[in-house]
Chains A and B, each alone.
Chain A
Amino acid sequence: MRSVVLLSGGIDPVSGRPAPPSGEIAAIGLALSAGGAVGGVHVGLPAAALGQAAGHGLGQIACLRGVGDPVAILAAHLSAAPPDLVLAGSRACGGEDSGMLPYLLAERLGWPLLAGVVAIGTVADGWLPVTIGLPLGARQDARIRLPCILCAHDAAPAPPFVFDRARRVAMHAVAVADAETIAPPEGTERPYRARPRLIGSAAPAGGGRVLDNPDPAEAARVLLDHLRALGMLDA
């Protein structure tokens, strides 16, 4: 089994400092759990966040130095020596952050893809069993044919950061052929402005209701009605 983890570099959303996205750390964890050789691939120059990602368990990272569409560059690189498994996070952090790259790559390579993966099993007959994490702790079992692309769930177990690994990582620049250029995204970019969300439709009107010293039965009634109104007892 040979796995490749796609690394985007990236920044921390709060501080803006270099940091690998959680999903990519989870992807490294999945790759390690698959066993066998694991390497990282990044399109672009070596970046600080790559070393940090490596600290979670990568011995080497190939930095593909070509100009143009990263999907095309990756596809060319991966088809030259196809791994069994390509792992990615759910989305990058610090660029376009659309989460499209693994999908475009899968389409171009003609490989199947599954997202939201929290665990992987052992290969049998060319099928890899995986577990998909869904909201509210729900899980779904699936099988996928190798070679394939898996996007890790952000909450998949993250392997610990080990400084010793981060400092030892071998980051080698790989010169690759330039690819077709892609148009820059349309529109105007500006600093983010947080916009409040709409009230949830199930939310009760008003807030901060206080019931001072009710008798227990009344308290229970009010509590139950409130929880019902919030839709917490539907299931």
Chain B
Amino acid sequence: MRVLIVGEIGGIALAAAMGWLVLLARWLKGRPATGWLAGLRQVPRRYLVDVHHVVARRPAAARMHAMAAGGVLGGAALALLAALLGAGGIVWALAALAFGMGGIGALLVWRRRVPKAPPALSGGAFLWLPAALAAWCVGNGLAALFMAIGASALPVIPSVVLGGLGGVALLRLVALGPMRHALAGVAWLAGHTRPGRFTGKGRDTGLRPLDLAAPRLGVLVPADFSGPELAAFDACIQCGRCEEACPAFAAGQRLNPKALIQTLSGAMRAVPPPYAGRPAPSVPVLQGKGGMGQPIVGNVLHRDTLWACTTCRACVEECPMLIEHVDAVVALRRGQTLMLGATRDGAAQALRASRERAEPGGRDLAARGDMIAALDMPVLPPGGESDILLWLGEGAFDARYGRTLRALVTLMRRAGLRFATLGADEVDCGDLARRLGDEATFQSLAAEAISALKARRFTKIVTADPHALHVLRNEYPALGGRWEVQHHTGLLDELVRDGRLRLERRESTRVAYHDPCYLGRYNGEIDAPRRLLDAACTDRVEMARHGMRAMCCGGGGGSPVSDVDAVTRIPDLRMEQARAAGAGLVAVACPGCTAMLEGVTGPRPEIRDVAELVLAAVVAGAMV
């Protein structure tokens, strides 16, 4: 009997391992990754800590997964152990217990879609998953139970057959997708392209520099992705959490992050298994054939999908498989932009202006200070020295955001800070170019900005633009520019806490704070602006989606200049959420959010930058 069980469970396990090798062989056709195998050691920790940290945000799903996965794997391991070592009844009983738990897990998997399947979940082969899991767990569980009580071969054999059938079904579901995540997940977690996510230090959200001398820039065909990235696409469990979080999807643009990842997984195969989840909205069916050397965009992936993404990382934040959607999008954009010049018209204009005028809006760099000209801001000449360098950013050209900057500058003066700007030497930080895939223009802008900054002495950089903040803080270091970079809300928070600014709460309408993606999700800064608002306003509410899980305003990633067709506008959706929270005023902390939310037409809550609200509440500063 023991031989039978070893044969059955072992055979299935062996077949699974073979399947893994087949998958691995395909992933290895991607660009080589260093230290992939070595990463295998990290997998248990990454899986048990980091993956479950995300999964556990939905306790029901976490329970389901723990039971199903734990039962399937734990039961099998214990049963194998018992059978191989000829252990006593106690191990068999434990195995039976584990399988029993797995059986409950299978039941929970079934309950997820019955009576009504949530729209974000996939159907198709997924509908077979509970049965396969149940057969494996019940069959093997019974066998283990019979072994534990020392029953005869008669009941064991049919149980083992049932378990074996379940096993075969599970293997089939690896090929069809639903169970592939288990195998691919191991490879992906071992070779995760952002190991910084697992260290607990920082957030590891910056894009990686591209070697501009490489023959192929970015991704055109699946083989241009690195091996682990390809494994990541195969690791997607189609849970649809990313889809629920995606602003572009909600606005009816041709992007569904889950469908995107599934498309990329399918792109590796000439005959991909059918996808039974929701597609990207109104996207026509593409007839192209996949393959490691087949073009992706325009062939299996619609062009608009690529340009609709706001790079907000909401999907990444939600993904239990820790998949990096934004990296995939940017890699594909790099291929389109750098190798083919195939960007959207508006984006091409912005990129040309970035290239030729060092400013995506095409404006004269000397005009950046115009909106704060009345404040007589000191400009730091090369070789000059100051405490704080104020990076103005693209918003400075805009009259509306000029008000924010004036509020900030007034507050900094009140607190007695010494600061200056780069004046006409401030080029665009390159954020837009980089998100649009134009790494060449990004790197040349970055080099210029870094050398302008290096020519001056200061202790830190302060900016009111989270996009600039992210680029300067997280992406310049890889190019040799390392400074302390602070967001203006962080600085003001510090000044208030140090007592250098004293605030008195103003009787206010309800204020809701909208987290900029590049400050919250990209940099983890969600508390300072809230502390400031609590000190400045009497009535603050939270929108349903806030903090690390806030919804994007639609302004990032070059989405506004790409003008991808939509059904509704992302800022309108966000404003609706603010209204639903009862807000009469939306506090913002980013020039992009300000412009996007102010662009919402009709009667709506007011938009104010945190700095403006703080200025209205300030009663004393060091200077007064």
Q: Given A161-B351, A163-B217, A167-B212, are A17 and B337 neighbors across the interface (CB < 8 Å)?
A: no
> In the assembled complex, which residues on chain A have CB atoms less than 8 Å from the CB atom of B351?
161
> In the assembled complex, which residues on chain A have CB atoms less than 8 Å from the CB atom of B348?
160-161
Closest B residue by C-beta to A12: B356
Question: Closest CB of chain A to B496's CB: distance in Å?
Answer: 40
> In the assembled complex, which residues on chain A have CB atoms less than 8 Å from the CB atom of B359?
15
Question: Closest CB of chain B to A192's CB: distance in Å?
Answer: 13
B286 at the interface (CB under 8 A from A): no
Q: Given A160-B342, A162-B338, are A15 and B358 neighbors across the interface (CB < 8 Å)?
A: yes
Q: Given A163-B217, A164-B217, A167-B212, are A15 and B343 neighbors across the interface (CB < 8 Å)?
A: no
- Asked if A15 contacts B440 (CB within 8 A), the reply is no
Closest A residue by C-beta to B339: A164
A to B contact number (C-beta, < 8 Å) = 54
- Asked if B356 contacts A164 (CB within 8 A), the reply is no
Question: Closest CB of chain B to A154's CB: distance in Å?
Answer: 14
B357-375 residues with Cβ-Cβ distance < 8 A to A are 357-359, 362-365
- Asked if A161 contacts B212 (CB within 8 A), the reply is no
B346 at the interface (CB under 8 A from A): no
B340 at the interface (CB under 8 A from A): yes
B341 at the interface (CB under 8 A from A): yes
> In the assembled complex, which residues on chain A have CB atoms less than 8 Å from the CB atom of B355?
19, 52, 161
- Asked if B357 contacts A161 (CB within 8 A), the reply is no
- Asked if A160 contacts B343 (CB within 8 A), the reply is yes
> In the assembled complex, which residues on chain B have CB atoms less than 8 Å from the CB atom of A161?
341, 348, 351-352, 355
1/0 per residue, CB under 8 A from A, across B290-313: the answer is 000000000000000000000000
B438 at the interface (CB under 8 A from A): yes
Question: Closest CB of chain A to B99's CB: distance in Å?
Answer: 56
1/0 per residue, CB under 8 A from B, across A50-65: the answer is 0010010000000000
Closest A residue by C-beta to B337: A163
- Asked if B356 contacts A15 (CB within 8 A), the reply is yes
- Asked if A17 contacts B358 (CB within 8 A), the reply is yes
A138-170 residues with Cβ-Cβ distance < 8 A to B are 159-167
- Asked if A163 contacts B440 (CB within 8 A), the reply is yes
> In the assembled complex, which residues on chain B have CB atoms less than 8 Å from the CB atom of A165?
341
6 contacts between A and B (CB under 8 A): A19-B355, A159-B341, A160-B348, A163-B212, A163-B339, A167-B440
Which residues of A pack against B, CB within 8 Å? Answer: 12, 14-15, 17-19, 52, 55, 159-167
Which residues of B pack against A, CB within 8 Å? Answer: 212-213, 217, 337-343, 348, 351-352, 355-359, 362-365, 438, 440-441
Given contacts A14-B362, A14-B363, A163-B217, 15 further A-B contacts (CB under 8 A): A12-B356, A12-B357, A14-B364, A15-B356, A17-B358, A18-B356, A52-B356, A160-B342, A161-B348, A163-B338, A163-B440, A164-B217, A164-B340, A165-B341, A167-B212
